[in-house]
Structure 1
Amino acid sequence: MKKGKVHIIFGTGMGKTAMALGRGVSAAMHGRKVIMIQFLKGVLSHETADGLKQLEPAFKVFRFEKQNEYYENLSEEGKKEELCNIQNGYNFAKKVLCTGECDMLILDEFLGVLDQKLVGDDALETLLAAHEENVDLILTGKVCPAGAEEHADEVTRLECLKPSNDHACMNG
């Protein structure tokens, strides 16, 4: 990833976040500043949060949601409460892109935010318009919205073709 690329990583297979993290860690190891904003995943466990803090200041991870569960598992009331937090995460992503605060911005499960219509219909276009030429943008999620691929420099689809005996194919 040289300069200002847009990458989409999607599919029902496992590994989208891991792939994005790997790219982020690689970029950080090469002196680039990385910010990851995670959506729809709830609060980080203490162990995971502590592990990710070791990557700072080159690689920072943010979650704006406050619930301990994945968004899709919340009650309707819980979803309403989290919607404001999700929108705060989206607004932070726009700010990061506009200010050029990092060299790589990873929006983990943002494609799910788009798919569930938790932000405006123009959210992707707004982010792409704010996208600086020198910032790599990585978007992950289960579903790639119609038209998104045409804005991407690279699109990767992950899917489980054959589950192992000890790991069933999971939905993302």
Structure 2
Amino acid sequence: MKKGIVHVLCGEGSGKSACAIGLAVKAAGRNKNIVIIQFLKGRNEENEMSKRLEPEIKVFSFEKSDKPFSELSSEERKEEATNMRNGVNFAKKVLSTRDCDVLILDEILGLVDYGIIEAADIAKLLEAKDDDVDVIMTGIVFPDELYGCVDSISRIDSEDIKKSCC
């Protein structure tokens, strides 16, 4: 049996979520059960496009607003923060009930940046992971406290994108 890994895609560049979705499509092609939970994006075109991957890839977002978190008022942020904490709790449930082979937590690292959860909450979440489940997390900043919880980190920076595009 293959040992599951915890992989992080982080950095200032764009393409982290797209890379994670590409990994999901690759895993779906190997008949794996994939769950994606998206954070901080609001309900937008990208979220709706991701839903087209269903039923092979299950996509969840617990946010109610159409706007990204960064564009919300302080009152709207409080409500959405609660919704996103519900998403983290759902991720714990998915891991503890073994409902997937691959769990993608898109922009979960940003929840730490915004003070919605702490890095320790992510560490506790990862403790619920079975040995054969892969977890992929994305976000801009990788908290130092999580180094002992992950197997690999890929950094995507703006310079990398400029060199590889057009």
Question: Given the two structures, how large is their TM-score scaled by the length of structure 1?
Answer: 0.87
Deviations 1:128-160 (A, max 9, x none): 110111110001000000122232111000001
Distance 2:69 2:159 in 1: 26
Other-structure match for 1:126: 124
Letter in 2 for 1:129: E
Q: Distance in 2 between matches of 1:131 and 1:125?
A: 10
Identity %: 44
Unaligned runs of 5+ in 1: 168-172
Superposed structure 1 runs of 4+ greater than 6 Å apart? none
Q: Secondary structure at the match of 1:143?
A: coil
Q: Larger deviation: 147-156 or 78-87?
A: 147-156
Indicate how the Cα distance of structure 1 residues 162 and 151 shifts in structure 2: closer, same or farther if over 3 A, else same.
closer
| CA distance 1:48–1:73, shift in 2 (3 Å) | closer
Distance of 1:110 and 1:156 partners within structure 2 = 15
1:156 to 136, 149, 154: 154
For residue 112 of structure 1, what is the aligned residue in structure 2? 110
Query: Where does 1:1-172 land on structure 2 (aligned, <5 Å)?
Result: 2-45=2-45, 49=48, 51-161=49-159
> By percentage of residues, which structure has more helix?
2
Deviations 1:84-122 (A, max 9, x none): 111110110000010010000000000001222202452
Helix, strand or coil at the partner of 1:35: strand
Structure 1 letter corresponding to 2:128: A
CA contact (8 A) 2:44 2:67 kept: no
Give the TM-score of the pair, scaled to structure 2. 0.90
CA contact (8 A) 2:119 2:146 kept: no
Q: CA RMSD in A?
A: 1.8
Q: Residue 30 of structure 1 aligns to which amino acid in structure 2?
A: R
Q: Which amino acid aligns with 2:113?
A: D
Number of aligned residue pairs: 162
| Partner amino acid, structure 1, of 2:81 | L
